[in-house]
Structure 1
Amino acid sequence: MTDSAATTRSRPLIDPRKALSFAGALWFVSAAIGQLAFVIHIAAQYYVSTFRGDFERMDEGVIYGFISGDLLGNALFLSHVLLAFWITASGPLQFIPQVRNRFRTFHRWNGRFYLTVALLTSSGALILSYLRPHFGSLALLFVNTADGVLIIAFGCLALRAALKRRFDDHKRWALRLFIVVSGVWFFRLGYGFYFFITAGEMPGSHNLSGPADIAVASTWIVALAGLELYLSAQRRPSGGLKMAAAAMTIAAAGAVLVSSYFAAHMFWLPTPAA
């Protein structure tokens, strides 16, 4: 056997680096599709209602929307749902290589806009969580508070890395920021996936206080852990780790698509008239 034949035979059929890169791109496309559905829902539910002055319709699907006499809380609620459109629409654009490489000025200004809106919405959501009556369990409040705090922390770390021109670190912190900023979206996906695996039974879910509700609210934590595994596989030379992370990411992409479909039917699509 020649050396070239031995080298050819020992070379893996699938390049682990390419497999991991493909899996990451597949997950991103799946997430972009799911977030597009969420963006359309926000526009149809909240922007149309705002333009019409139909604030009662804006209360549909939320526990505490507009409360009579609560000027600060109502202002925070309205700004939160309206800004959610812009942050959800602008976030995925930051991670498209063609946009980042060919339109650098847009990438920088869109990143500044995204970070500013992220800090505003997370700060407002934290204030709203403790300003208004508590709903659900204390565990749910803790999970949501942790999400808001991490948005602020990851945003500051992403900005710091960019200012110091450590662009690899900046990209990693920006990806982490994207995950925690999408916490509300992941919350909906969690219910969509739970509905799928339980065939609509959804045991353990009760007024945001059941164990299933807490698990669903923690979906963003699972996504963040998956991202850390993906980033670790990128940095390490192990082909086995890269292939394992690629398989996990492909499975996650499928879960995102399935969850988005069921979440759309549960939360985002109009309810047919009886």
Structure 2
Amino acid sequence: MNTMQSEGANAQYNKNTLNAQFKKAPSNDLANKSLKYTTVFWFVTTLVGQWFFFYYIMSFYGFSVINDNMQIWNRWEPMGSTPFHAGDFSGNLAFAAHAIGAGIVAFGGALQLIPKVRNMYPRFHKINGYVFLTTVLCLALSGFYLVWIRDSKPLTLSGVGTTINGFLILAFAYFTVRCAINKKIANHREWALRLFLVSNAQWILRVGVFSYMVSGSILGLNPAFGDMFFPLWTFGCFVMPLAMLQLYFYAKRKTSSQLKFVASGLLCVLTLFMIVGMVGFTPFLLLVMSGDPISF
């Protein structure tokens, strides 16, 4: 009798467990799809923004170098920046390398993240990876030069942020290469994503600034360049993306549907803010390229 009761209890337990699993399966499937498609949404948005940024850099900085018209860089003077220094050949060269390198990173880096490109064109992926790594190393080193040697006042908050970002680029590049050499492909891709984000921190910085200004204006908050947001965003432009990426990795590994929904929701919100920033940033870049006066 006891045996029959025990078997009945076990059968009921198994039935309840199966029912719970069947109920949980659709939720997990939806959570996985939510995270997947939100990631695609982020990537497509980033790709569009990055490639337009590449177009701007090559149109403005690239052609100015070719045409020996680097004085045009000082169109940024209304924003407190005069990159071109007359008679400073090495400094101007470093800035040109830094700016054009950022364009190369913006264009080539995104291609490294596309699975079909990796799988169908492994040789291109490898060569493009070498180009990307070489460029980001030059980006970091030229950034150090511009901040600590060329700049007469290197100990600014912006300079500290650029320096930290540069060291992160070097560190992440090292781990990306080491994992590739050791055939740890999953780890290699994670470090490559981190490297992609910190290498594009200057683009993220600018998009974030315009997102803050546009969204703040829409909400009637009267944003201004003296707001606390700006010193915080000097570091936030690489800390926040890295934190979001780490949450994405964590959510992807775990089975928790709630965690996946939280990660996908947060990524979606950040992507929408990124779109707002791109909408504000794009007309400004077109203004810079047009040659018309820049005013605020």
TM value normalised by structure 1: 0.90
The CA deviation at 1:105 is 0.6
Q: Is the CA contact 2:143–2:162 (under 8 Å) kept in the aligned structure 1?
A: no
Residue in structure 2 matched with residue 29 of structure 1 by the alignment: 44
1:88 aligns with 2:109: no
CA distance in 1, matches of 2:51, 2:223: 26
Return the alpha-carbon distance in structure 2 between the equivalents of residues 251 and 220 of structure 1.
17
Corresponding residue of 1:202: 223
TM-superposition CA deviations, 1:1-21 (whole Å, max 9, x none): x88877654443552222211
Task: Give the SS at the match of 2:223.
Answer: coil
Please tell me whether the aligned partners of residues 61 and 267 of structure 1 are also in contact (alpha carbons under 8 angstroms): no
What residue is the counterpart of 1:211 in the other structure?
A: 228
From 223, 227, 239, the equivalent of 1:221 is: 239
Contact 2:98 2:142 in 1 (8 A): yes
Which structure: greater helix fraction? 2
CA distance in 2, matches of 1:138, 1:247: 35
What does residue 168 of structure 1 align with? 186
Q: Are positions 1:153 and 2:171 aligned together?
A: yes
2:123 paired with 1:127: no
Q: CA deviation at 1:136?
A: 8.9
CA contact (8 A) 2:105 2:200 kept: no
Partner of 2:268: 250
For residues 80 and 260 of structure 1, the distance between their equivalents in structure 2, rounded to whole angstroms, comes to 22
Identity fraction in percent: 26
**d(CA) in 1 for partners of 2:173 and 2:258?**
32
* Shift in CA distance, 82/10, structure 1 to aligned 2, threshold 3 Å: closer
Q: CA deviation at 1:259?
A: 1.0
Q: Give the alignment's Cα RMSD to 1 decimal.
A: 2.4
Please, which runs of 5 or more residues in structure 1 have no aligned partner? Answer: none
Give the number of the structure whose alpha-carbon radius of gyration is greater.
Answer: 2
Alpha-carbon offset, residue 211 of structure 1: 2.7
Specify the code of the residue in structure 2 equivalent to 1:84: A
Contact residue 73 and residue 82 of structure 2 kept, 8 A: no
Shift of 1:138: 2.7
Is the counterpart of residue 12 in structure 1 residue 26 in structure 2? yes
The 3-state SS of whatever aligns with 1:66 is coil
CA distance in structure 1 between the aligned counterparts of 2:187 and 2:292, rounded to whole angstroms: 50
- 1:199 is paired with a residue whose SS is helix
Match of 1:48 among 60, 63, 66: 63
Task: Report the AA paired with residue 202 of structure 1.
Answer: P
How far apart, in 1, do the equivalents of 2:291 and 2:67 lie?
21
Letter in 1 for 2:150: R
Say if 1:260 and 1:272 are closer, same or farther in 2 by CA, change over 3 A: same
More displaced 10-residue stretch of structure 1: 171-180 or 140-149: 140-149
- Which letter maps to 2:188? H
Between 83-92 and 132-141, report the one with greater CA deviation: 132-141
Query: Normalising by structure 2, what TM-score?
Result: 0.83
Query: In structure 2, what is the Cα distance between the partners aligned to 1:6 and 1:179?
Result: 40
Q: Deviations over 1:6-51 (max 9, x none)?
A: 7654443552222211111111111111111211111111122222
Deviations 1:225-274 (Å, cap 9, x if unpaired)?
Answer: 11111111112222211111011111122122111111112344445847
| Residues 1:129 and 1:240: Cα distance change in structure 2 (over 3 Å) | same
Equivalent residues of 1:34, 1:256 under 8 A apart = no
Quote the Cα distance in structure 1 between the aligned partners of 2:56 and 2:186.
Answer: 34
Question: Of 95, 102, 124, which aligns to 1:77?
Answer: 95
Task: Name the SS for the 2:212 alignment partner.
Answer: helix
Going from structure 1 to structure 2, the CA distance change for 1:42 and 1:16 (only over 3 Å counts) comes to: same
Which of structures 1 and 2 has the larger relative contact order (alpha carbons within 8 angstroms, sep 6+)? 1
Which residue identity lines up with residue 49 of structure 1 in the other structure?
S
- One of 235, 260, 277 as aligned partner of 1:259: 277
